[in-house]
Amino acid sequence: MLKSTALLSASLFAIVKGQGIGTNLAETHPSLSWSKCTTAGGCVSTAGSVVLDANWRWVHNAAFTNCYTGNQWDATICPDPTTCAANCQLDGAAYSSTYGITSSGNALTLNFVTGSNVGSRVYLMASNTAYQMFKPINQEFTFTVDLSTLPCGLNGALYFSEMASDGGSAAHPTNKAGAEYGTGYCDSQCPHDIKFINGAANMLNWTATSTNSGTGMYGSCCSEMDIWEANSISAAYTPHPCTSTGLLECSGSTCTSTCDQAGCDFNSYRWGDLNYYGPGMTVDTTKPFTVVTQFISSTGTASGTLSEIRRLYIQNGVTIQNSVTNIPGLTTYNSVSDAFCKAQKAATGDTDTFETMGGMAGMGAAMARGMVLVLSIWDDYAVDMLWLDSDYPTTASATAPGVARGTCATSSGKPATVEAAGS
């Protein structure tokens, strides 16, 4: 469940060499069970847990002085990236009271605003020190969600990213915290707001972007499969292949030429079915529903090439087939494939970076290597989430193919507004 809160043993002064582990609060991962099902064996429950991403954590030195406060690094503790990583420690998280993250059985709730905290990002764990890895080709992934209180401008997301199972600690020994403390994040947008990348502080050229965040010189790139990006108004699923393998630390133009940042999305509203998803519609977002995503193999086996990604919904015991495209210049499709992606780019006039960055085969190659499950709730300081639920780009005619993505106003989604409403 993803919702907005308004609706929805070491010495105390031990010095840890490297991006270390703090001692103020013991890290206790919230439990989260999940099931793996087969035709022959039925469903077997697994006792898992989730871990909070390192970016949200208190980072301090051995004397408990902040390494990072608000949107700035401490110049004394962090004179350079290597020294900063050696001086700083990631501490345990108070999941419920500070971050609004709670779990019960196989249900997870992420509140949007809790006190001064905004949003969160968590990963499914296989053990206390390793992420659960998924290789979903020739399988389906299913979850049930309640987005009834998630308004315009918010995004309750569930997706796969090609992160290292240990959070990058083996490849970068200065990262002592590892997966246990949520390190090693990357995605196809090559985000520059990650505070530590590959065991070093991303502090060079740091520029504040809000009262609590900023961006550094380096980005953190990897392939990403967005199974679900949604609020109560709009939803999309989107593969984003990259030409790199695993996490690539990028700078300059490499950050915009390595991954398919636009992706090949299937948003029912964007592709012409205006009454399919939303309050009171075919998929009624005022009530919980189940999302089914099928990763089809070219050979019908897990070793085949990813050829198609299908979507189904289940609500009130009824299986709902995906919507079909209905816009000028786009042949009828109801799933994501190389043919659909090529056709949608032609219909909208968008550059086909999906094919350039590897297409379905590239996305499948990342899946075959293994990906981490990410769950998050967030708002958008860049473009107010208009790319998901409104007309975007705002300079284009709303009647042009692919511009209208939902019924939210182009003035909606301002972080200041949605954060105030969520407090």
Catalytic (active-site) positions: 224, 229
SS3 content of the chain, % helix, strand, coil (to 5): 15, 35, 50
Place of tokens 């979903």: 136
As given in the structure block, the two tokens for residue 189 are 């947008």
Those residues whose C-beta lies under 8 Å from the C-beta of residue 177, and which sit 6 or more positions away, are 19, 20, 21, 54, 89, 90, 167, 169, 183
Cα–Cα distance between 46 and 36 in angstroms, integer? 8
The number of CA neighbours under 13 Å toward the Cβ of 40 is 0
CA torsion through residues 141, 125, 228, 420, sign: positive
Cα–Cα distance between 315 and 188 in angstroms, integer? 31
As given in the structure block, the two tokens for residue 36 are 């793996």
Beta-sheet pairing, 89-90 with 20-21:
parallel
Among candidates 182, 112, 144, which has minimal Cα distance to 378? 112
For 26, other C-beta atoms within 10 Å of its C-beta total: 9
For 14, other C-beta atoms within 10 Å of its C-beta total: 11
CA torsion through residues 175, 179, 182, 183, sign: positive
Identify whether the C-beta of residue 96 lies closer than 8 Å to the C-beta of residue 25: no
As given in the structure block, the two tokens for residue 157 are 């997301």
Cα–Cα distance between 114 and 95 in angstroms, integer? 10
Identify whether the C-beta of residue 243 lies closer than 8 Å to the C-beta of residue 357: yes
First to last CA, the chain: 18
